[in-house]
């Protein structure tokens, strides 16, 4: 499926032409498409109000490329990378769209003022890679750091009581060990090998290099300027931004007319938002989210999995709640025009109970219409638990799946209390009431009880996996093992490689649709409900108490801002869900969560 042309992509909402229409100038006409910052999988909740001001999604951008590819007025497409923060799986999805444009006869150019792994990888799908003169290039490879905290916790007077089911799970090792176990060492090294191959494969294919040739180029490209990158064969042209039009005139043999396409733009902002008096009417308006014809629904499971409602994570980013997903499933089931569903997953997992609730909902949904799964960056642990609720799993060569295992525990703080002369008096009623005391470590009997309950959860997890993937060899695929792309297909955790748009097109063909709409679920919310949730962090209820204090919101925002500033947006986006999952151990004692954040550099 990954190599299939992007058939059916034109049914998606294409970006409209910016400005006052296309001038009828002579010469080659080029489509200019900006890729800026991050590309979310789904529109914002208020996209139905903000219109052209809405930030484009990944699907919007792919659709804009496909729209330009299908427009006979354009001879070429320029993809401008502007401070873009893309995951490797997103690069593969955008690369498939570029490949489709080239198959349609368009010449595709990529321009960037500085280049890292994502820019160079995406450029390998294009006809020409253009670097800004004087710009920098950095391509050192795939790098990962692991921090083991057992010795630090011991010095601080803390003890991590962690139990895991699955020898290769590894999620507890960061807190409970000083060095990695042999099983985790084997697991993570195999994963990194797969990731490294996923980075190198398009570069070798697109730049015509063998393994030795790419090694030689990388030896220079760890820190280089554009001219050095050109000499290494990774960049085709070095041009100043102001001279690009002149450069393209040379490429196309005459005058060129460059027309900007804005992905995701669906017209101007709602007129009601332009008037301060009419603005109040928006509070009573509800978004129109009813299918008008045959529709493929895209159900998003994005972020750390939690019980209850989806929302903003304390550390930044989002959480996906079991109640929100189940409500969205019910909404889909009520719509007869929704002919099939693609579940888009990008999650490291989270709550075991929430994962089970979501799985049950997806299985119920699959009894009424076909349900396929598209994996973005990750469907690990609880994310994979949800994935096996569909009948077909499609992923990119860079998508991570697996981590079929369970971890749980607590951090006891008696030593810390004693270090600071804090006297904690414990009082409990009931045979298990003191199990989660903040001060007292678990006894051997309590550890055995926790392991017994976690083993039950693991058995349920593996039974769900086998129900969705009959014939899967758990001895090779389970116990916490992680797989990427081709590895996942080879062991049977996924069916094939492909993008979200190829999955949508494939499912549409499967149910016999040639013309259809694509709608995202959960659907958008009203302005009043969005504002109500936003204000919960600052409003004190005398009846229900403080839902979330302003101080907590400020602290979380500060931590998120600091993390993003220190680590960079792309790295922080990978770390925050892992931190959120660890924080969730305060309320959830048994977790289905992937073990680490994987940072690409």
Which residue in this structure is represented by tokens 């116990």?
479
pLDDT at 453 over 80: yes
Cα separation of 127 and 116, whole Å? 18
The mean predicted confidence, pLDDT, of the chain is 83
- Give domain status of residue 157, yes or no: no
Ranges 42-56, 148-162, 229-243, 303-317, most confident: 229-243
Is residue 310 within 8 A of residue 525, CB to CB? The reply is no
pLDDT at 209 over 50: yes
pLDDT reported for residue 15: 38
- Give domain status of residue 399, yes or no: no
Cα separation of 34 and 394, whole Å? 27
Which residue in this structure is represented by tokens 């039974």?
463
The string of DSSP letters for 294-354 reads SEEEEEEEESEEESS--EE-TTSSEEEEHHHHHHHHHHHHH-TTEEEEEEEEEE-EEEHHH
- What is the number of structural domains in the chain? 1
Is residue 301 within 8 A of residue 349, CB to CB? The reply is no
pLDDT reported for residue 407: 85
List the domain range (segments joined by +) for residue 49.
9-140+222-262
| Inter-helix orientation angle 322-334/352-366, to 10° | 10
- Give domain status of residue 123, yes or no: yes
pLDDT reported for residue 548: 40
pLDDT reported for residue 539: 40
Give mean pLDDT, residues 544-554.
Answer: 40
- Give domain status of residue 107, yes or no: yes
Cα separation of 378 and 382, whole Å? 11
Which residue in this structure is represented by tokens 């077909």?
392
The string of DSSP letters for 112-128 reads ESSB-HHHHHHHTTSSE
Cis peptide before 430 (omega within 30 of 0): no
- Give domain status of residue 129, yes or no: yes
Token pair for 273: 């938002």
Can you give the pTM of this predicted structure? 0.83
- List, for residues 359-386, the tens digit of each pLDDT value: 999 999 999 999 999 999 999 999 999 9
pLDDT reported for residue 528: 54
Is residue 469 within 8 A of residue 383, CB to CB? The reply is no
Q: With the CA atoms of 434, 435, 437 and 443 taken in that order, what torsion angle do they form, in degrees rounded to the nearest 10?
A: 110
- Give domain status of residue 74, yes or no: yes
Cα separation of 399 and 78, whole Å? 27
Q: Are strands 128-132 and 237-239 parallel, antiparallel or unpaired?
A: parallel
pLDDT reported for residue 26: 57
Helix (H, G, I), strand (E, B) or coil at 584: helix
- Give domain status of residue 546, yes or no: no
Contacts of 206 (CB under 8 A, 6+ apart): 123, 124, 125, 126
- List, for residues 3-54, the tens digit of each pLDDT value: 433 334 333 333 333 333 333 445 799 999 999 988 999 887 656 555 545 6
Q: Residue 51 sits in a domain of what CATH number?
A: 3.90.226.10
pLDDT band at 284 (very low <50, low <70, confident <90, very high): low
Token pair for 129: 């890679």
pLDDT band at 551 (very low <50, low <70, confident <90, very high): very low
Token pair for 142: 């795939």
- Give domain status of residue 409, yes or no: no
Token pair for 270: 């709602």
């Amino acid at each position: 499926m990954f190599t299939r042309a992007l058939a059916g992509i034109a049914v998606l909402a294409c970006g409209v032409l910016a400005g006052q229409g296309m001038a009828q100038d002579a010469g080659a006409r080029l489509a200019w498409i900006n890729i800026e910052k991050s590309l979310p999988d789904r529109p914002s909740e208020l996209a139905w109000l903000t219109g052209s001001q809405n930030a484009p999604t990944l699907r919007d951008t792919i659709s804009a490329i496909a729209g330009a590819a299908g427009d006979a007025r354009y001879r070429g497409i320029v993809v401008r990378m502007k401070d873009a923060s893309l995951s490797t799986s997103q690069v593969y999805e955008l690369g498939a769209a570029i490949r489709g444009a080239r198959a349609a006869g368009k010449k595709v150019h990529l321009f960037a003022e500085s280049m890292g792994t994502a820019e160079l990888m995406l450029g390998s799908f294009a006809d020409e890679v253009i670097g800004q003169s004087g710009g920098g290039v950095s391509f050192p490879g795939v790098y990962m750091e692991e921090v083991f905290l057992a010795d630090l916790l011991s010095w601080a007077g803390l003890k991590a009581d962690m139990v895991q089911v699955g020898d290769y799970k590894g999620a507890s090792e960061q807190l409970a060990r000083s060095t990695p176990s042999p099983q985790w060492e084997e697991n993570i090294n195999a994963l990194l090998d797969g990731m490294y191959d996923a980075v190198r494969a398009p570069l070798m294919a697109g730049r015509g290099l063998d393994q030795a040739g790419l090694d030689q180029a990388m030896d220079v490209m760890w820190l280089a300027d554009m001219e050095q990158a050109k000499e290494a064969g990774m960049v085709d042209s070095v041009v100043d931004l102001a001279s690009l039009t002149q450069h393209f005139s040379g490429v196309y043999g005459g005058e060129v007319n460059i027309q900007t396409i804005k992905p995701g733009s669906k017209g101007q902002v709602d007129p009601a938002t332009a008037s301060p008096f009419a603005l109040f009417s928006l509070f009573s308006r509800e978004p129109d989210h009813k299918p008008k014809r045959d529709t493929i629904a895209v159900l998003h499971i994005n972020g750390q999995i939690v019980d209850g409602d989806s929302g903003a994570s304390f550390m930044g980013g989002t959480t996906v709640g079991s109640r929100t997903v189940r409500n969205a499933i019910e909404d889909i089931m009520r719509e007869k025009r929704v002919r099939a569903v693609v579940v888009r997953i990008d999650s490291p997992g989270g709550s075991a109970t929430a994962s089970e609730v979501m799985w049950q909902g997806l299985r119920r949904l699959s009894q009424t219409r076909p349900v396929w799964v598209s994996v973005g960056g990750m469907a690990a642990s609880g994310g994979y638990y949800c994935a096996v609720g569909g009948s077909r799993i499609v992923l990119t060569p860079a998508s991570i799946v697996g981590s079929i295992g369970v971890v749980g525990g607590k951090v006891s703080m008696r030593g810390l209390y004693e270090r600071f002369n804090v006297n904690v008096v414990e009082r409990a009623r009931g045979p298990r009431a003191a199990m989660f005391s903040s001060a007292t470590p678990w006894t051997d009997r309590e550890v055995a009880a926790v392991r017994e309950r976690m083993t039950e959860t693991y058995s349920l997890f593996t039974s769900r996996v086998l129900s969705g993937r009959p014939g899967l060899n758990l001895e090779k695929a389970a116990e916490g093992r992680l797989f990427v792309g081709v590895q996942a297909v080879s062991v049977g955790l996924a069916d094939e490689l492909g993008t979200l748009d190829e999955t949508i097109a494939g499912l549409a063909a499967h149910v016999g649709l040639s013309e259809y709409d694509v709608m995202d679920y959960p659907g958008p919310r009203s302005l009043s409900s969005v504002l109500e949730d936003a204000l919960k962090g600052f409003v004190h209820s005398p009846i229900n108490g403080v839902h979330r204090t302003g101080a907590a919101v400020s602290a979380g925002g500060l931590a998120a801002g600091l993390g993003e500033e220190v680590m960079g947006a792309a790295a922080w986006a990978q770390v925050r869900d892992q931190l959120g999952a660890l924080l969730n151990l305060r309320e959830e004692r048994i977790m289905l969560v992937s073990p680490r954040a994987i940072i690409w550099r």
